[in-house]
Structure 1
């Protein structure tokens, strides 16, 4: 799908962040690298071996299983779980996060067409903001308006969307949400706005 195939009457586009605009894995793996480096310094453990364990755990179980796998393999003190969470929220990444190319193209076309760009994202607001600050936006950041759904009510609740509509004097028919999981789709349905799955634009295995 490309921009010209979207209903031209749409005036505002609402994006989720993770795995919609960029691959979340790119953020998490850099955090794992930083955490492994931290533990190598504090506990004299092998950072490369720890990073390998965390990467495999992420691939097999998802992010929620990563610290447990590391703790089991290296007998990491539970106190480091707090350090891990702090790092997830405020890590300064070695490398910029890159948008999916198709999403970069799409957003640039939206801006050229003088329509509005929004991000409405679930998750810890501090962590999501940290990701946003480290994405290479190619100048698009000046056009983005961000809402952190957890500050209202996490999606699929429609509170953040309702606030967005009210604050920007929009009508429901003006909006389309672009997400990638059922939560996004249910949130669009609850908000009374149209929905497009990000997979219509991108192959999520590549940027």
Structure 2
């Protein structure tokens, strides 16, 4: 369904970041690329081989213990864990993160229709902010209000409720766009309408 149909009777739309506005892997794979380049520079080990291993491992098993698996495979010192973790927080990406086309279209529609746009994101606040700073927003950034759930130390449902209260709105006036069961559950706790980002197309 077209995005405007979902939001036609809403005044606020709330988004998560990862796998909603852009693919989470687009950030992580660039972090892995930078780490592989760093190891090649410091240890003279082939960066492409390291990156290929990390990409395959990530795509097969996710990011859990990826450093440990890579360190074992390429005989890296445990001290490199610090560099790996630091890159996740403050990496300067070679390429900007690009919004999903359907999300870019939807956000642009919301701005034209003067709807308020919020991002409520979980995860390390420093890392999430780094992603936001390196996303190609196409001029939309000035219309975004962002809340970092981990920084506020609040459940998403409470942040959603605070947003409604601050705008003197009820749940029926807002829409949450997410990509996982957690976002859906948090929305349902306060009866907020919820849709999966993939349902929106233009």
SS in 2 for 1:28: helix
Match of 1:205? none
Unaligned runs of 5+ in 1: 203-207
Q: Which moved more, 1:141-150 or 1:191-200?
A: 191-200
RMSD after superposition: 1.4
Q: Could you tell me the TM-score, scaled by structure 1's length? A: 0.92
**2:55 paired with 1:33:** no
**Residues 16-95 of structure 1 correspond to what in structure 2 (within 5 A)?**
16-95=16-95
Unaligned runs of 5+ in 2: none
Q: Residue by residue, what CA displacement relative to the aligned partner does 1:87-141 show, whole Å, maximum 9, x if unpaired?
A: 1000000111100000000000011001011100110000000000101000000
Name the CA distance, whole Å, in 2 between partners of 1:154 and 1:109: 30
Name the CA distance, whole Å, in 1 between partners of 2:76 and 2:165: 48
Q: Could you tell me the TM-score, scaled by structure 2's length? A: 0.94
Name the CA shift for 1:130/1:25 in 2 (closer, same or farther; >3 Å): same
CA positional deviation for 1:7 = 5.0
Q: Which has the bigger relative contact order, CA under 8 A and spacing at least 6? A: 2
CA positional deviation for 1:159 = 2.2
Q: Residue by residue, what CA displacement relative to the aligned partner does 1:142-170 show, whole Å, maximum 9, x if unpaired?
A: 10000111123465x41221232233333
CA contact (8 A) 2:14 2:176 kept: yes
Match of 1:5? 5
Name the CA distance, whole Å, in 1 between partners of 2:160 and 2:151: 12
Name the CA distance, whole Å, in 1 between partners of 2:197 and 2:4: 15
Question: Structure 1: which 4+ aligned runs deviate by more than 4 Å?
Answer: none
